[in-house]
Amino acid sequence: MKLLIVLTSHDKLGETGKKTGFWLEEFTAPYYEFLDAGAELTLASPKGGQPPLDPKSSEPDAQTETTARFHQDEKARQALANTVKLSDVSADDFDAVFYPGGHGPLWDLAEDAHSIALIEAFWKADKPVSAVCHAPGVLRNVLIDGTPLVKDKRVTGFSNSEEDAVGLTHIVPFLVEDELKKNGGDYSKAADWRPYAITDGKLITGQNPASSKAVAQALLKMLGGAEISK
């Protein structure tokens, strides 16, 4: 079972002068779910190398069992520091793709031609596409035969009320909930900050950081028949 994890390379929070990037828990929870299931993991980002970490995801109240494990895991930290360039990966080499969130993907991955083409290739090959929190926003420009991938599919992602709660509604380039709806997605959500993940066919989406593990488990369940790579 070979899985691709695609992270953001974008570190600027709009014009605020503050930093953003990927959200640590949204990477670590799935990373260890996949790793402990025996998956072979490849990490990629648009620029390659070390992806920027949203500094808020390193604050004490954002720490979890998996973030603590990551900080003690030199092999994982080295893997993250040396992501491959997104332009160098092919859907042919993987069984599925997963996108962690954080605000960064709204600026780069949502518009990145390589990311868009990659998701389209996974989809056309009938391979699972999964994303959590802000990362379902990377689907906004993905078209399958001219139709938005999310059209008529049950989806979730970071809600407008959650974006309001973190005070970034007028900073982000678009709102994930609005964009999924605009593209014809059948959007639903749980209460703010509660775990919520939806599977519709080969598409798996999660609402917020707390949903990361559920998305990973849904992906592993979907790949249950896949042979573990040695």
Residues in the chain predicted with pLDDT less than 50, given as ranges, are 225-230
Q: Per-residue pLDDT tens for 98-152?
A: 999 999 999 999 999 999 999 999 999 999 999 999 999 999 999 999 999 999 9
pLDDT of residue 230: 31
Chain position carrying tokens 């990377």: 138
User: What pTM was estimated for this model as a whole?
Assistant: 0.96
pLDDT of residue 229: 38
- Cβ-contact 115, 147 below 8 angstroms: no
What are the contacts of 181-187 at 24+ separation with CB within 8 A? 183/139, 183/140, 183/148, 183/149, 183/150, 183/151, 184/148, 184/150, 184/151, 184/152, 185/148, 185/150, 185/151, 185/152, 185/153, 185/154, 185/155, 186/152, 186/153, 186/154, 186/155, 187/155, 187/156, 187/157
Integer Cα distance of 168 and 166 in angstroms: 6
